[in-house]
Structure 1
Amino acid sequence: MAGVAPPSSSSASGSASGSSNGQAGSMGEAGLSASRYYFSLEDPKENWEVGDKVGAGSFASVYKVRHKGTKEICAAKIIRLNNKMPNEFAMVKDEVDILRDAAHPNMITLYATYKRTNKVWIIMEYCGGGSIQSLYQKLRRPMTEDEIKFILREMLAGLAHMHAHGIIHRDIKGGNVLLTHKGEVKLADFGVSAQLSHSQQRKSTIVGTPYWMAPEVVYEGATYDAKADIWSLGITALEMAEMEPPNSKMDPKMAMYMTPSMPAPTFRKPAAWSSAFRDFVRLTLQKNPARRPSAAALLAHPFLADASIAPLRAAITLVRARAKDSKRARAAAAKAAAKAGKAPAQPHAIRRHAPPHPQHVPRRHRVAAKASPNAAGQANHQAAVLAQANRPIQPMRHRMPAMPAMVASPARPAPMPGLASPRRAAQSPRLGAHMRFLRASNENPPLR
């Protein structure tokens, strides 16, 4: 498998080798050995040097780490367990089991796991290219068809493998698809994934991120299967093409509830994309899950026939070059400021002047803002929208009721003829005189 090689140190590999080292019988913590994958009780910092934070979510943070023995660079997902959620550790074990049992070149590679007090460390392959979401944000443009088709082909290969093993990802989106420096595509974040048994081929809990959730996941009393991932893949295709998922201007929960009743999403500017791409997205976004092709069937779609890694690799190289140039520029500015005896500008001071969200812009300024778009401002807006959109929904014991149909507000009683507004009254001399009399009576009440 491409990517970072597994650490060869015995201390690291032993933590992920199962109970063969004899420690499993003396764990001292109930439930640690229940997983098919072994959680070491050693201090992970004895084997790993923790570097910069490279990602953060609602329930975990991801750090760049280096193994002290092999010097290999990996990623550590550190999850702080919540005592108020007794099933949280069981969900972590499920994620680890999926990474171990369903290994595939298009899935993130698992290397080691640790359990220390209320923290769980999952050591995984490091993907230096970041997520798809971060890539198009750094490019400050939508992704091209050539970039999108390769990503979709690799995602489908990973999903086809997962679905063949009875696993539903349930949270496919741009933020959960990672890229290596070489352009390899990896499905990640299996925290809400589900393993289907032979006797249970469908799930019924509401899980996922609202804008990417399939209609059948939201329906009350309905069940769903792996076809829910196909819908999320189609939404991710639109996300890459337009830098945000459909309906992202709506409140996330409102968008989730309205998904079953709204028409299937499509491109804002269909003419800008090839007919093959439009047909691919149309197939993935069928409201009826039975009409959606499987991941294996979509791999044969003509849109993916000439997919190549070269365009995506070029985009990643461009982003890395920009990052290096920006780093050198900041270092030069800091050096010049130190030489002049001035404090260098802080990044937060620059972000403070970022354009506000369009909803907070006064109405009289919105037309001017649309008339003179700014690439950096649009990128900042997309980042703010997706930060709100990417908050996943955890499994719920009871399903939410479906959103009731919108009911029109009752009609207002008809106003008296001619008295609807002062402007209409002024057009009639008789009515205008009557209104002036009423106004004068209110201002100067009669003496008694």
Structure 2
Amino acid sequence: MRGAGISEVVGKTIGNKRDRTLASSSIPAGPLSPARPRRTGRRRLDFPEFVLGASLLALLGVAVVASWQHRRKTPAPPAVAPAPASAPIPASLEDDEPHSLARARADYERWREQMIRWIRGDDGGVGQAKRLDPAAEARFLPPIEAARACLQRHLHRGVTIDALEPVGFDRAGDGVAIDYRATVRSPYSLYVVPAVPVPIPADGPPPYIRTLPYLLLSHFLPPGYLHDFGKKFLVLPANQPLSFRWRVERARVVDGRWKILLAAPALLQWDCSFYAAELMAIREGNPLPLHLAGDRCLEPDRRAYWETVNGFLFHYDSVWGVPGAWALGYAARAQAMLPPSPLAGWVARNPILRLEAVRPVSGACVALARYPAATDWAGPILAPARQLAPRDAEFRFVQAYRDLAEARNRAIDGFLRQRARFEADRNKIRLPR
């Protein structure tokens, strides 16, 4: 009984543990199966699985070796060069602007107004302007070589370009308008000289006053006009840099090339077209025509003025019998006008210029010298003219200068017609400048 009791107690204890285990699991309760021994450590790989893995590794090795041998036998393809950037658009260096005498006259007026502003100190802000970004310049603007070639055509001969920088641009239809800062220099000084009519005194002998409008006081100006050298303005000293603003008014791509189709006049522009425009401005009564030139061009014009004045006074005094012809004697005027060096030779060849006696009139003025008859070497030659009636003599005297003035006007007319044809031909045949 005692042994049975122990077995019963043990059985009850084991049964209670099994009931608690089955109650806590999802497996329905059933007869208790014998427990399988629990394996510890890694699971042993079966033979079929081992064969499959080894086969896959062998195939992978064969593929790697075959790929390596193929790369050794096959030459490497050439390296592909990177795609080049878009090539810049070439530019035309020819003269593609329209030309006409009317355009030259309009450009001269714009140049004259620009020069007057420059003389008054208005440089257009060229000193404060900054250069454009090079990337924007390369993308939107024509090559700088085209602008330099165009500007050189608009400059006075002898002026060279030191630098040309874009400082701004605007869209203009299918093209662009560009502002440049130009820096130039010249081997000789350049001046601006105004052309003015000869001053006519309020009082004086009628022949003298009537003749002044017909005097040719310049080599190329119309009669009665002269360059006022006392008011000339130095624009560019010799071999000194000068910066100014210049504008390309229209540039666009035509037939695959950049072309400058229209440009504004440059500050130092002067050519035969502007000379013709100056003559037209004088004839139209422009209040202040301007002329741009160097000393080498102005000096002959200055000599022409004094030669004409001296010849006119000599002719006038001789015809009217030197004494009393004019309030300020010609001999005193000649002494002041002629250069000192050739004065002695001039007087030796022309005894009429010798001062016999001079009396002062109102301070520094010099009255007409008294010429003895012996020194009037032109008397026999001019005797027929002096024997004329005053009215006939005056007519002949004035008519002689009127004929010279008409010849000068005809020459100017011919030059303007020739220049108009030349400007029209420039649109057909691009002539080198």
Q: Aligning the two structures, in what range does the TM-score lie when normalised by the shorter sequence?
A: under 0.3
TM-score in terms of structure 2 length: 0.23
TM-score in terms of structure 1 length: 0.22
The structure with the greater share of residues assigned to strand is: 2
Answer with 1 or 2: which has the greater Rg.
2
